[in-house]
Chains A and B, each alone.
Chain A
Amino acid sequence: MTVERVRVVRSWEWARPERPARREVLAAVPEREEAKPPLLFVPGFGHGAWAFAEHWLGHAAGRGFPAYALSLRGHGGSEPAPEATLRSYTHDVTQVAASLPRQAVLVGHGAGARVVAHALARYPARAAVLVAPVLGGWATFGTALRRNPVGTVPAVFGAGLRLHRRQLFSRELPDADARRHLARLGRAGRRAQWQLLTGRGPEPAVGRPPVLVLGSPDDRVVPASALIRAAQRYASAPLLFPGMGHDLMLDARWREPIDAILDWLDKDPASAAG
């Protein structure tokens, strides 16, 4: 999926800059500044910054990491954007990343991981974490179709992709919580959804960021095989959290994956990569 050539000339992008959009950014910063890099959480399609504000932002800040989450345009508290493309979403991520005081770690969840993969080619992240990544292509579509035909087929024709409770959460999550989260789900732009299947793959990352892939073998959106493939692309193996649903940041055992991410960052993978 990645093309090897670095692109210098981007006449179309220069000639047609992305339209600016008002973006929601939620933050939790540690009380005392430590030398830890800021984290920028990028939600997947249908989710907003709220999905990280629930547990992960506060938890990361509690461990000394300045933590930010954005809502891609058309999601959460950001400006409506029915015509958004993957490029618009990528633009939103690089804009927020570059606005942070220091070089950021990008953490993408679901299709937000695909957006992060694109952003890595346009912003030298300190590191990247792909959580239950939906990197797109027809394989993603196949899985979605098998697991959730009723929610998926209309999406091909431009409707929103509908995910159901059992795909996103384990049984351990109390019903009330699950219903509350489901009620907040929105939808991605029609064009962006289509590009997730057919669009050009991400260009190579700039600045050699180390990349961590993690997910659950029991995720009903992203199968374990897709996790392994995603990790291989970045020359590593995925960290697995059995028994959890696709939304690891909202599920009952949300603490385990975020602690694993922060432990990995505390070991400073950037300096290990040399």
Chain B
Amino acid sequence: MSSSTDPGHPDPDSTVASSRAERPVSDRGDTVCVIGAGASGLTAVKNLREAGFGVDCYERETGVGGAWNWRHDRSPVYASTHLISSRPFTQFPDFPMPDDWPDYPHHSQLLSYFERYADHFDLRQHVWFGTEVVRVEPVEGDRWDVTTRSTGGYGPERTSRYAAVVLANGHNWSPKLPRYEGLEQFRGEVMHASSYKDPAQLRGKRVLVVGAGNTGCDIAVEAAQQASHCWHSTRRGYWYAPKYVLGRPADQVNDTLLALRVPLRVRQWLYHWTLRLTVGDLTRFGMPEPDHRVYETHPIANSQLVYYVGHGEVTPVPDVARFDDRAVELTDGRRIDPELVVFATGYLPRFEFLKGQVLGDEDGSGRPRLWLNAFTAGYPTLAVVGLVQPDSGIFPISHWQSVLFARLLTLRATRPERAAAFERKVRAGLGERYSAKVKDSTRHWFEVGHADYLRALQRALHELEGVK
């Protein structure tokens, strides 16, 4: 699958003596390695190329687009997935989506957008498809040994040495599956939302959907229309925000307030008030009162869930307590008998190819500790791109993260004192947050408010450039 046009691919001839002796390492000089050719990886390749760097990108799948490529085994999108962030917030800042597309495009449009991006900037020639990264190890001189092999595990491993590495491996593909007492005995069908693809999977069944992230809400809405019954279990109350308020996409209304510099508290108050007027009091449907303010959990953008609850097609229920062979017991003692349980309980990040402590994960929890969700202390030539969960589109953030990293790498050579000052900022800023205070949940590890985050990133970029 790999392209043969790239003149500079790892070439075993130019081997250097490996610090680990046994294995030959091909030295890729100043080339930068990018892991993953999803949206984040593609924008990293483009921006590094634009800054003049050679790039080798490794992608274990056979196409670009990552999560948005429904052909990929690990793609979490289902047939009906539409964006939750409207177009202006989702497109790359220097490659607009067609303006005759809808406010909230379909996942197949997203894929075509990323494919066009790859072709427009001629990025595929830098991507090694069907190639999985299995190890990333820091070596002397702030350089990196990256070991790859063919996806599926056959063929030999090969190791190449790079001047820098971008991790763009995504964080929405490894399912988070909670443990429950008795789940093994349960005779019904159980799946994680990542294997949910098509409403036909729900048709005519009694379905329990667990979790009210955007995935859980979307699936509950489909179950309302397809299943014979739908229970929707949540362990807390949420703010179910519609996709449109005041006749415009909700995120555009929110950013009007941000542009006017309306403080968070006032925005929260306005939002609560708008929801009162549109969605109304949800406790009348038996849904719990939210235990937090708007923006303190990852926003839900779904105009239909409340509608189907109001039509009796979705029955809101509390958290699951335990399973037995034919029933599910809820925390309020009620027992229900679904034939299919869909766990829309989210995803966990995975960096198996890297020692946890490189990303500041000291306690082995799997949670990196970074500055700007991208930079780690002590490894100035490493950046993570796309490890954010914004209240908005992720792609502009990935774009600017990779622009910043490309600038940093350039300045390491031309203005080392600036790069050193940046490194000090990284150390001082590890673990910094860019959102309202959020509920403690793995799903909020990477939660950022897009405006707060991008402002911080803009400041970092200006400081690095030395402009005030």
Contacts and interface: CB of A to CB of B under 8 A. Distances in A.
Given A5-B467, A14-B255, A207-B94, A98 B99 contact: no
A124 B94 contact: yes
B290 interface: no
Contacts of A274: 52
Interface stretch (A100-108, A160-168, A182-190, A223-231): A100-108
> Which residue among A8, A10, A11, A95 has the maximum number of chain B CB atoms within 10 Å of its CB?
A8
Interface in B116-144: 119-122
B100 interface: yes
A12 interface: yes
Given A95-B99, A207-B94, A9 B454 contact: yes
Contacts of B255: 11, 14-15
Given A9-B454, A15-B252, A122 B88 contact: no
Contacts of A14: 88-89, 251-252, 255
B92 to A, nearest CB: 9
Contact of A101 (B50, B120, B400, B455): B120
Contacts, number: 84
Among A4, A6, A20, chain B packs the most CB atoms within 10 A around the CB of: A6
Contacts of B253: 15
Contacts of B122: 102-103
A16 B403 CA distance: 25
B275 interface: no
Interface string B258-285: 1100000000000000000000000000
Interface residues of A, number: 32
Main secondary structure of the interface of B (DSSP, over half): helix
A176 B405 CA distance: 58
Given A95-B96, A103-B121, A122-B93, A208 B50 contact: yes
A242 interface: no
Contact of A206 (B88, B94, B99, B457): B94
A34 interface: no
Contacts of B89: 14
B219 interface: no
A45 interface: no
Contacts of B298: none
Contact of A11 (B87, B93, B258): B258
Contacts of A100: 120
Interface in B447-468: 451, 454-455, 457-458, 461-462, 465, 467
Nearest to B404: A8
Interface in A201-222: 206-208
A11 B47 CA distance: 23
Interface string B94-123: 111011100000000000000000011110
Chain B interface size, as a band, is 20 to 34
B256 interface: yes
A20 B99 contact: yes
Contact of A91 (B95, B99, B451, B454): B99
B457 A123 contact: no
A9 B87 contact: no
B229 to A, nearest CB: 41
Contact of A9 (B50, B119, B451, B467): B451
A124 B96 contact: no
A94 interface: yes
A98 B95 contact: yes
Nearest to B97: A98
A13 interface: yes
Nearest to A20: B99
Given A11-B255, A207-B94, A208-B50, A103 B400 contact: no
Nearest to A17: B88
Interface string A1-43: 0001111111111111110100000000000000000000000
A4 B50 contact: no
A57 B345 CA distance: 56
B252 A17 contact: yes
Task: Output the residue of A4, A11, A13, A91 with the most chain B CB within 10 A.
Answer: A11
Contacts of A122: 93-94, 96
Interface string A85-101: 00000010011001111
B454 A98 contact: no
Name the residue among A12, A15, A122, A206 with the largest chain B CB count within 10 angstroms.
A15
Nearest to A123: B94
Contacts of A10: 93
A12 to B, nearest CB: 5
A98 B88 contact: no
Contacts of B120: 98, 100-103
B390 to A, nearest CB: 12
A4 B466 CA distance: 10
9 contacts: A8-B455, A11-B255, A14-B89, A15-B88, A16-B256, A17-B87, A95-B98, A206-B94, A207-B50
Interface of A: 4-18, 20, 91, 94-95, 98-103, 122-124, 206-208, 274
Interface of B: 50, 52, 87-89, 93-96, 98-100, 119-122, 251-253, 255-256, 258-259, 400, 403, 451, 454-455, 457-458, 461-462, 465, 467
Which 4 residue pairs are nearest across A and B when measured between Cβ atoms?
A11-B259, A20-B99, A8-B458, A15-B255
Given A11-B259, A15-B252, 9 more contacts: A4-B465, A8-B461, A11-B256, A16-B252, A17-B87, A98-B120, A102-B119, A122-B96, A124-B121
